[in-house]
């Protein structure tokens, strides 16, 4: 079945550092790919998405590119802020059973001032 | 003000008691979902409903039940048969059409004593 594997956390960085959170997936065909963010005590918010190969999703300075050849969707940000501290989830929506999202285990990010 | 409401935010119950978690939405979305989140794990799908009076089991439905009598409401009952009910529960809806995004409520943290 479909699955998502994320870089294990927690990740701790200093403010203004470069961020990469790795995400790879296994799925049939061309799934849609998502990054969600969860701030402490809250639900998930969609951060960005890509629906086809080579698409780049971007939002709030975060970017991720859908790489079919490496089945990856790594999240990047050039200069992180303390307010970026949260848990980040990579997810896919497969072409079969298209209603359901499959999530990675989440990566906790802490940014120190 | 459109959105998803989950109440209460924190819920405590004694072992062996059934408990019902509320999820209400005014987004006019047909599809609704219940996920369970445990520390260090991604979200796992419990049940979903694509339309009123219809619902399907997700990946971890054992020990849970749902109903969908109204479009706006999708309550989840955690029964005494659920062996490890303490978790963070998230309700979500899905927008119709090609966009197909899922929107999440703020969650309910259930603690069984």
Residue closest to A23 by CA, chosen among A77, A78, A81, A64 = A64
Q: Which residues of chain B have pLDDT under 50?
A: none
Q: Which of A36, A43, A100 is opposite residue B48, by nearest beta carbon?
A: A100
**Chain B residue whose CA is closest to A51:** B99
Chain A nearest-CA residue for B50: A99
Residue B42 DSSP SS3: coil
B104: which chain A residues are within 8 Å (Cβ-Cβ)? 36, 43-45
A3, A27, B73, B103 from B70: Cα distances, Å: 32, 34, 5, 18
In which band, very low, low, confident or very high, does the pLDDT at A83 lie, cut at 50, 70 and 90? very high
Provide CB contacts within 8 A for B21, sequence distance 6+.
B6, B11, B75, B76, B77, B78, B89, B91, B108, B110
- Measure the CA angle with vertex A65, ends B4 and A68; round to 5°: 110
What is the tens place of the pLDDT at every residue in B20-33? 999 999 999 999 99
> What tens digit of pLDDT does each residue of A6-38 get?
988 899 999 999 999 999 999 988 899 999 999
d(CA B24, CA B73): 5
Query: Reduced to 3 states, what is the DSSP secondary structure of residue A77?
Result: strand
């Amino acid at each position: 079945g479909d699955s998502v594997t994320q870089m294990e956390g927690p990740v701790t960085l200093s403010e203004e550092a470069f961020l990469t959170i790795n995400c790879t997936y296994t799925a049939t065909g061309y799934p849609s790919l998502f990054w969600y963010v969860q701030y402490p005590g809250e639900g998930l918010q969609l951060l960005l998405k890509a629906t086809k190969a080579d698409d780049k999703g971007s939002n709030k300075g975060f970017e991720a590119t859908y790489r079919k050849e490496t089945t990856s969707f790594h999240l990047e940000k050039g200069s992180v802020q303390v307010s970026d501290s949260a848990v980040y989830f990579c997810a896919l929506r497969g072409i079969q059973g298209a209603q359901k999202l499959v999530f990675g285990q989440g990566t906790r990010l802490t940014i120190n001032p | 003000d459109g959105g998803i409401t989950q109440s209460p935010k924190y819920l405590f119950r004694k072992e062996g008691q059934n408990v019902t978690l509320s999820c209400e939405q005014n987004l006019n979305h047909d599809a609704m979902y219940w996920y369970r989140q445990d520390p260090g794990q991604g979200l796992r799908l419990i049940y979903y409903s694509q339309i009123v009076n219809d619902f399907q089991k997700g990946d971890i439905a054992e020990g849970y039940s749902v109903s969908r009598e109204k479009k706006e409401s999708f309550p989840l009952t955690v029964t005494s048969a659920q062996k490890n009910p303490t978790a963070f529960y998230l309700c979500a809806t899905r927008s119709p059409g090609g966009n197909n995004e899922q929107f999440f409520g703020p969650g309910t943290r259930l603690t069984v004593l």
